[in-house]
Homo-oligomer: A and B are copies of this chain.
């Protein structure tokens, strides 16, 4: 394998593996949010606020992987 190309393989693995956790995480916390709204629709305001915050934190982990992937492709 040529040296220059291994970094592209690394970029692919970083984004591919890095998407597994946040994807499942958004699903699980979304499950909790929707169930909570179903049981107690009156609390939907504060459930929504916390849900968006949690999704943002989960997405940020996927964005870490995206950043490393882009750095590996274009900078490294």
Q: State the A residues within 8 Å of B (CB).
A: 1-44, 46-48, 50-55, 57-73, 75-76
Contacts and interface: CB of A to CB of B under 8 A. Distances in A.
A62 to B, nearest CB: 5
A72 B35 CA distance: 39
Chain A, interface SS category: helix
Contacts of A33: 30, 32, 34, 50, 54
Contacts of A72: 8, 11-12, 73
Contacts of A26: 22, 25, 27, 29, 54, 57-58, 61
Contacts of A53: 52
Contacts of A35: 32, 34-36, 38
